[in-house]
Amino acid sequence: MNRGAFTRLALAVALLGAAGCGTLAVWSAPKKQASAERLPQAARADELFWRTLHTGDYEGIPAALGALTAAYLADPRDAVTAAHIAWLHFWRLSERARLPSGGGPAITDHAVLARRYFEEAVRLDPADARYLGFYAGALMSEGVIHNDQAMIRRGFFTLKDAVAAWPEFNLFTAGYIAGLQPHDSPRFRDGLEAMWANMEACVGERVDRAHPEYSRYMRLETTEGPKRVCWNSWIAPHNFEGFFLHFGDMLVKAGEPARAVVMYGNARLAAEYTAWPYRNVLERRIADADRNVELFRRADPPPDGPTMMIRSRYSCVGCHQRS
């Protein structure tokens, strides 16, 4: 071997060694573990989070984010704080119809931050399938923004894992996200099927899809176990009504306004219906179901006209706002 070849070989070996050291250093780093206890600062930030969400105070999101981010910096191993930060970023993005010009191009930064903090929540508490479902949705949202098909597909298959882990919760996540898809696309049809599957997971039997009245199932209402998310709760005081509002919207977009009217009507079965801030929206939907078919199919719905829940100013608070 001549001197030049030996030099090149030695350099290659040195570079491989350096790369190996880097890989080994990363591999051997201690795993980030969730905190055993939460700080009082995190509890105070949670109070602000829930007050902001339950009052539908969209303008209060920056203050709540400031408190939660400060709590996270004080303890970056708190999964709940990470998830709440992510959720506020998601809320800011989802209800951007409240903002002039939809918040402008920079509003998309909230998708990136939501994905990052949900990723951290999943990392710290992988057993919570809610975090996994929201993380999947954030992956797909960010993937669409960046036109990154690999990220979109990773989100899609992560969501399948989340559905398998907690179908009663994450089938709705899948069905809700799909509402943004064109009405004649496979992903929209899959999303509509996810809504039917969600309904059936909640009641534990095949639903009569031709006549989907829900009154026969109201006896199943519970506050315990995985099926508790099928009903209203402290976290989502109008989850039941919001579910049927979105389901009806999906059926309208699919071209089934008569069946949508029945689905919308199921929301009235909730004991809390009369206190729901968006009951007038639902009553208007029932009256205008036929007219809304083409409006819901538009890629650019008029800013002041009827639009699907997923595109609206109440896409999050439709389930979570108390008053």
pLDDT of amino acid 301? 79
Q: For residue 187, give the 3-state DSSP assignment.
A: helix
pLDDT reported for residue 192: 98
Q: Which residues have CB under 8 Å from 207's CB, separation 6+?
A: 196, 199, 200
Model confidence at 36: pLDDT above 90: yes
Write the Ramachandran bin of 103: left for phi over 0, alpha for psi from -120 to 50, otherwise beta.
left
Does residue 32 register a pLDDT over 90? no
Q: Say which residues have a Cβ less than 8 Å from residue 257's Cβ, sequence separation at least 6.
A: 251, 289, 290, 292, 293
- Cβ atoms of 263 and 289 within 8 Å: the answer is no
Q: What is the pLDDT of residue 14?
A: 60
Mean pLDDT, the chain, whole residue set: 94
Query: Predicted confidence band at 1 (pLDDT cuts at 50, 70, 90)?
Result: low
The three-state secondary structure class of 105 is helix
pTM of the full structure: 0.91
241: amino acid identity, one letter: E
**Predicted confidence (pLDDT) per residue in 91-132, tens digit:** 999 999 999 989 999 999 999 999 999 999 999 999 999 999
44-94, pLDDT tens digit by residue?
A: 999 999 999 999 999 999 999 999 999 999 999 999 999 999 999 999 999
Cα separation, 234 vs 63, in Å, equals: 22
What's the pLDDT at 31?
Answer: 85
CA distance 214 to 174: 21
| C-alpha distance across the termini of the chain, in Å | 82
pLDDT over threshold 80, residue 17 = no
Flag whether pLDDT at 10 surpasses 80: no
Pick from 249, 228, 231, 251: nearest CA to 241: 231
- Answer yes or no: are the C-beta atoms of 117 and 82 closer than 8 Å: yes
Query: Would you tell me the crossing angle of helices 129-146 and 167-177 to the nearest 10 degrees?
Result: 20
Residue with tokens 């993380």: 135
Give me the domains of the chain, ranges plus CATH numbers.
39-165 (1.25.40.10), 167-323 (no CATH)
